[in-house]
Structure 1
Amino acid sequence: MSRTSPGPGAFPAAAVGALALLLAATAAGCGSAEQAGDGQQGQAVARPAAAGPAADRVGALFVGGPDGARACTAGVVHSPGRNLLVTAAHCAAPGGVRTDGLVFVPGYRDGRAPHGTWPVTEVTVDPDWEARQDEDHDVAFLAVGALDGEQVEDAVGADALAVGLGSGLDVTVTGYPNQDDAPITCRARTSSYSATQQRFDCAGFTDGTSGSPWVTDAGRVVGVIGGHQEGGISPDTSYSVAFDAHVTDLYRRASG
């Protein structure tokens, strides 16, 4: 994973150990920035994402603030508390260790936080991820604190979590490559990789795009970049755990 030099004192002391693991992890589905190209002939290629309500529900995760290290991508999902994000477990708890000091910046671009900077207050991952980083459990839910009495879902809206829909779905995936200061997006169709993993093919999803939500036209989140190979080693193909009953259970725990 590439990173921004944060300067002295940018991170809370409790974040330093977990940050070292996070910076060593593969934070993007899909290989290094140098590998990104135009994809195979006829393959979809990611393009810059226009600002707007749908894109602004997705944001960049940083450690210590927008001037700190860029971690991954996350998206707002509807919840009773109106304060929940979904991302990959390897973004929020690399090596099974929760990262302190994460903040979420929805709609981030060009160094600006148009909808504020939201501190992550709680990380929920599956015990199988904590114990052995099981790739079939590479999904996490993050609660964020209110800003000026407002919850993040009230500020930018949310997509709905959906499970058990299978593959063959048209989705839009928006994420934040580390080498860019604005998001990219791509529309592609999901396919089954295994009984527990799904994939989509679109070139350009490099380091930093892990955690990017897969959103259907109906506004349903059916995956996040992660899972197999922590999202993939090629920028042309990205993976996600299959969203099924175990994701529902994790969501219920996080919604508490």
Structure 2
Amino acid sequence: MKRTLAALGLGIVLVGSTATPAQAAVASVPLAGTAAAGLQTAAFWLADGGANLRNATPYAVRTSVSVTDLPVAPVPDGKPGSTAPLIPPDGEDPATVGKVFFVGGDGQPHWCTGTALQSQYRNLVATAGHCVLDIEGASAAQSHVVFVPGYADGAAPEGLYVGKSAFVHDEFSLYDDLERDYAFMTVYNGVAADSAGVLSDTGRLGDNTGGQGFAWNQPAGSSLRLLGYPAGPHPDGTLPYNGRNLQQSTGTASWVAAPELSAEWLVGVDSPFTGEGSLGSAWLLRYEASKQLGYLNGVTMSVSDTDADNRYDTGVSAYFDSQAAMIYKAAAASWTGRLV
């Protein structure tokens, strides 16, 4: 479904100006825009010992796509740039990657993968755009959107972080342009529930988990580390992942196009991840395993079987250019605060 300018009536706010090769129009989409709404969202996920977290299923919208190689490499819209990762202030190992949970247009709880990023207020998460915006329904955004870093086997070791706003490219928010299928979500301070269901504040996301850096206008051909929670099957029916724990893969990036999506400027990377669950997976450039930190240079928006052997072999991401960097910077300068 293509959105029109009527989507502005659903709460989307354009922050930037008309897009040019060097400037993006930034759309800010409210998620839980008030503390009261945030508390309701937190209660939804933490009630009954986190039953909704455990019962959520991997998001299965647009998980696979056919891609082709690009004969001529596109020219980026500016010089390469980056922001450095954030080492956790307490010296603990970073736990930046986790699950983004939400209630989809079908009314059911689902999850994608998300990544904590360096930001001014240490409150930023990156994921696929269609994991926070409902591209199949009439609503502007998914509901009850939260981030659980370090998620493993039903546990939320670093707390639960309720999404306040999602910052996306206006071409994605208005027209579902999948060459802009990424989102930067600001989150409130984390919360945890005791045995009686009383919520307590667990602090800012970046203070607890650290944050990956961010890189844009990088050349293709780089080696990338992918981190995510794949869970779905390959086309041949095999099910190599269960989505309960974080998985990794390493591959080389290249330019691809997805004609069926009218997307002519995407990036592919060699990866065996299946689509369900891995949407939003982190693509990390210059990843240092000893520090568990690198520079986010893509998020999985879909996967592809490029050699037709009925097994996925390629992750697909929008390219992070200067316009993606502007959206990231706008989100990274947005304050949220605490719920309790």
TM-score with structure 1 length normalisation?
0.74
Letter in 1 for 2:279: S
Cα distance, 1:99 vs structure 2: 1.3
Matched residue, 1:103 = 146
State whether structure 2 residue 215 is matched by structure 1 residue 162: yes
Output one character per residue of 1:225-255: Cα deviation in whole Å (capped at 9) or x when no partner. 11xxxx1344321111111111012112212
Aligned length: 209
Q: Percent identity?
A: 26
Query: Out of 162, 185, 205, which is 1:119 matched to?
Result: 162
Specify every segment of 5 or more residues in structure 1 that has no aligned partner in the other structure, as ranges: 1-8, 12-21, 32-51
1:186 to 249, 255, 259: 249
Distance 1:190 1:107 in 2: 26
Query: Is the Cα contact below 8 Å between 1:30 and 1:206 reproduced in 2?
Result: no
Moved more, 140-149 or 84-93: 140-149
2:123/2:186 contact within 8 Å kept: yes
CA distance in 2, matches of 1:128, 1:141: 15
The residue type paired with residue 116 of structure 2 is V
Gaps of 5+ in 2: 1-42, 46-57, 67-91, 191-200, 232-241, 258-263, 288-293, 306-311, 334-340
Instruction: Tell me the equivalent position of 1:200.
Output: 269
Q: Secondary structure at the match of 2:189?
A: coil
Aligned position for 1:243: 320
Counterpart pick for 1:133 among 173, 176, 179 = 176
Deviation of the 1:131 alpha carbon: 1.6
Match of 1:38 in 2: none
Asked if residue 224 in structure 1 is aligned to residue 299 in structure 2, the reply is yes
SS in 1 for 2:269: strand
The answer to whether 1:69 aligns with 2:146 is no
Secondary structure (helix, strand or coil) at the match of 1:232 reads strand
- Separation (CA, whole Å) in 2 of partners of 1:161 and 1:204: 22
Could you give the per-residue CA deviations for residues 63-122 of structure 1, whole angstroms, max 9, x where no partner exists? 26xxx7232111011011110011110111021721121111111111111111111111
Question: Which fold has the larger relative contact order, with Cα–Cα distance below 8 Å and residues 6 or more apart in sequence?
Answer: 1
* Paired letter, 2:317: S
1:143 maps to amino acid: T
Aligned counterpart in structure 2 of residue 144 of structure 1, from 187, 193, 196:
187
Equivalent position amino acid for 2:61 in 1 = A
- The residue number in structure 1 matching 2:19 is none
Say what the alpha-carbon RMSD is for the aligned residues: 2.5
Indicate the structure with greater helix content.
1
Q: Does 1:212 align with 2:281?
A: yes
3-state DSSP of counterpart to 1:217: strand
TM-score by length of 2: 0.57
**1:172, distance to aligned residue in structure 2 (A):** 0.8
